[in-house]
Structure 1
Amino acid sequence: MPELLEQSTNTSADLDTTPKPRPSFESLGLIEPLLEAIERLNYKAPTDIQAEALPSALAGRDIIGVASTGSGKTAAFALPILQKLWDEPKGFFACVLAPTRELAYQISQQFEALGSAMGVRCTVLVGGMDMVTQSIALAKKPHIIVATPGRLKDHLENTKGFSLRGLRFLVLDEADRLLDMDFGPDIDAILKAIPKERTTYLFSATMTTKVAKLQRASLTNPVRVEVSTKYSTVSTLLQYYLFIPLSQKDVHLVYLANSQAQNSIIVFTRTVHDAQRLSIVLRNLGFAAVPLHGQLSQSQRLGSLSKFQSGSRKILVATDVASRGLDIPAVDIVINFDIPTHSKDYIHRVGRTARAGRAGKSITLVTQYDVELIQRIEAVTGKKMDLWPTDKEEIALLRERVEEAGRLAATELREEGAKNGHRKRRKGDRDDRDVRDRDDDVVQAGMPTKKRKSKR
């Protein structure tokens, strides 16, 4: 775990220990079109981070927001940006950088929902999607760009006529994750391409040394708002564990999926291979499961997420690409098939359930090799997990079917791997043929081809 920095500045709320009544959105000074959108979205009152950040943001200050997952950070930076956009409508008004593609799409949707009465236009720039289509969208001058840093840098370097020289707002969302994913060089390049005279918001779940350096490089005299100094899970989350041999993880996962079939479940794995394999195992056994990981195409990832959010699939088997930022209100249970190495990743995973005051459960599969990791997580959260009750006879009856489903999944993965390899070879053959055909066309037209260097 990175060493956390001491809080360097305090808001007036931190200095005043007397409890204050929570303000309403109206009392914070939001304009009527935003208040109408808030009412339509059924936001009852500002969350802690919104109540603390909005007054300073609406006053035009740079903001550092430190708040845990599920705290309402997106509205905390979207509302002041949209309010300023209402006063000064223009293209390329704000840019939001997010660590994952799914989070980028979710942020864009929230901007569009909050700005629905204003006709706000958003464009999402992420990898895995067609650059030309994105370039056409940029040519229409959207107000808000939500992007992953790598793809935004690509457009700044390669898309003719696109620049952010008139940008008014920059948001760095999930800044600790942006830097953990080695986006630092891309962010540095983006900071050089945008105006120094701008308003910047930086939001992060933790203030690490890397985030502090980014803060110094990108913000001017910021107000720091910290609503959760302790890194912990919410009180409405019930946390359980299962202590099992490593060889029995699959059958215990199927047992849990079977006994909790009426609930929506996210299963977290450490590797892409296990996310894909377990989704096939569960489907082979009749469960409505879909995978979500980084090796799927962007359309496949969005398709899996959409099916799970709509309820047509009850189980999402995912890597940590789904552990941060995604707001899926109806998740009943999070199952950690693999325990994450860092305690903060555990907290982000289980934060997918028990959101916005609702109850939820997490169940972690613990093998003989995971005892130290689970003890570390309990020490960080300050909570002991309870043992999840199991029916040993039912698990024994499931074992043979689960093993057969595992063999079928392994065969399916091998066949899929062979098909992908064949496709790549065919694509290479086509590329070679295209080169030869172009050379033939050039020769027939009486034009010289490029001379090849002699090996002599």
Structure 2
Amino acid sequence: MTNETNEHAKTFKSLGIIEPLCQACEQLKYKIPTEIQSEAIPWALQDRDIIGLAQTGSGKTAAFALPILQALWDAPQGLFSCILAPTRELAYQIFETFESLGSTIGVRCAVIIGGMDMMSQSIALSKKPHIIIATPGRLQDHLENTKGFSLRNLKYLVLDEADKLLDMDFGPIIDKILKVIPKERHTYLFSATMTTKVAKLQRASLINPVKIEVSSKYSTVSTLLQYYLFFPFKYKDCYLIYLCNELAGNTIIIFTRTCNDTQRLALILRNLGFPAIPLSGKLSQSKRLGSLNKFKAGNKNILVATDVASRGLDIPLVDVVINYDIPSNSKDYIHRVGRTARAGRSGKSITLVTQYDVELYQRIEQVIGKQMELFPIDSKEDVMLLQERVSEAQRIATLEIKEEQQKKGGKGSKRIRNDDDVVDYKDKEDRDIIESNKLGKKAKKARR
């Protein structure tokens, strides 16, 4: 951690933020700066490049948004800053933060992501926004195909969740983007961890940066209570329903490994009277945003999601995270449970462990440096009482899925292009989940 900055400041004004932006912070109920904001903002206002290493939920977006908006206030121009994000949902969230913080100074923003109409995005770009928030693939599409659009006057480049950007193999696209933007610019790189790929990107894109590390260990927050439940695989759905019943009234995110399971579990939960909604890469972009907004607004209090929802999303007041499937990458576990216990609040995570998950479970405990506690249940008999109702809900969900597939005409495999990648298989899934699917197949063979 750098010791060159001042001590933790108590107000945004004391960090050097101008009054209009301080007012915007008050409207958003940003009461005092977080640690990453207190460390990064003074250096950013001194026109230094920044590498920010901080755990999820630490307030990284405002740490780069406020200095950029203040610089824009001081020197208004057309396209001023470009922020690259690894997922569409995170891009939209950053867009909303810039819109809210910049509302008092008249900032114009555009979000450029896959899964949306290219032409309407081209029109938005022609209106000369100050800030572009984009996923790398779609930004590269516009640089190559949208007449009159370029980044040659760019003043600020931000790489958010840089470790995830590079894990998703966006490296070659980012290299192309770096070649068409001015060398005389300010660059901010924010990441949860300093991987070898991130270090290489840092050397290629930043000039004499200040390194700010507010979390030296990749870990979960102290306000998070972490539990596990161990049971035979065949009762997995039954235990999930038992937990949802016990935690009724709480806001819950259930993480699964595959898109199909998000749809299946959401249907099972609905058939049993729980207000659940799915979120996965299989859904269209409008449905993905719709699911997220319904959950944020409280219209549905159970979100069943793949890891597309685990990174960077600030969903307020999530009480419980349930890991229906254990992620094969221990870092993904930390991002998942980081959806709760945010901004000093408490929260719970519960990980479902079957006989096929023991090795992954032990690996996670090693990474977080602590043992999870056994989640208290009254008795196994209480769980088994739900088996008949759960089996019926499973049967109905299977029929509903088949009917939906028949409506679509039983379409086969399609080649799908979006901002994440190009793949060939029936159910589009995020790149970082593919390996986990292989693990699941091995488990199925073992069960046979």
Same fold? TM cut 0.5: yes
Q: Find 2:273's aligned residue among 286, 289, 296.
A: 286
Residue 191, structure 1, aligned to residue 184, structure 2:
no
Q: Find 1:406's aligned residue among 382, 394, 398.
A: 394
* SS across alignment from 1:116: coil
Residue 91 of structure 1 is matched in structure 2 by 78
Residue 395, structure 1, aligned to residue 383, structure 2:
yes
Q: TM-score, normalised by structure 2?
A: 0.90
The AA in structure 1 aligned to 2:61 is T
The AA in structure 1 aligned to 2:130 is H
C-alpha deviation, 1:419, in angstroms? 2.5
Residue 313 of structure 1 is matched in structure 2 by 300
Q: Find 1:380's aligned residue among 367, 392, 398.
A: 367
Q: Find 2:109's aligned residue among 117, 122, 127.
A: 122
Change (3 A) 1:13 1:23: farther
Q: Which runs of 4+ in 1 moved over 6 A?
A: none
C-alpha deviation, 1:169, in angstroms? 0.4
Answer yes or no: is the 8 Å Cα contact 2:9–2:15 preserved in 1: no
Size of the aligned set, in residue pairs, is 412
Residue 357 of structure 1 is matched in structure 2 by 344
The AA in structure 2 aligned to 1:205 is A
Q: What whole-Å deviation, never above 9, does each CA across 1:130-179 have from its counterpart, x for those lacking one?
A: 00111111111111000000000001111111111111000000000001
RMSD between aligned alpha carbons?
1.4
C-alpha deviation, 1:187, in angstroms? 0.8
* C-alpha distance in 1 between matches for 2:67 and 2:9: 18
The AA in structure 1 aligned to 2:194 is M
* C-alpha distance in 1 between matches for 2:369 and 2:237: 29
* C-alpha distance in 1 between matches for 2:342 and 2:352: 22
* C-alpha distance in 2 between matches for 1:22 and 1:77: 16
Residue 104, structure 1, aligned to residue 95, structure 2:
no
**Correspondence 1:146-295 to 2 at 5 A:** 146-295=133-282
C-alpha deviation, 1:424, in angstroms? 7.8
Q: Find 1:420's aligned residue among 401, 408, 430.
A: 408
Residue 49 of structure 1 is matched in structure 2 by 36
- Range with bigger deviation, 185-194 or 80-89: 185-194
* C-alpha distance in 2 between matches for 1:178 and 1:317: 24
Q: Find 2:332's aligned residue among 342, 345, 354.
A: 345
* SS across alignment from 2:26: helix
**Identity rate, percent:** 71
Residue 135 of structure 1 is matched in structure 2 by 122
Residue 11, structure 1, aligned to residue 5, structure 2:
no
* C-alpha distance in 1 between matches for 2:317 and 2:2: 34
* SS across alignment from 1:301: helix
Q: TM-score, normalised by structure 1?
A: 0.88
Residue 302, structure 1, aligned to residue 289, structure 2:
yes
* C-alpha distance in 2 between matches for 1:345 and 1:26: 36
Give unpaired runs (5+ residues) of structure 2: 414-448
* SS across alignment from 1:134: helix
Residue 445 of structure 1 is matched in structure 2 by none
Change (3 A) 1:22 1:28: closer
Q: What whole-Å deviation, never above 9, does each CA across 1:29-85 have from its counterpart, x for those lacking one?
A: 111111111111121211111111111100001100000000000000001000000
C-alpha deviation, 1:235, in angstroms? 0.7
Residue 20 of structure 2 is matched in structure 1 by 33
C-alpha deviation, 1:378, in angstroms? 1.2
The AA in structure 1 aligned to 2:386 is L
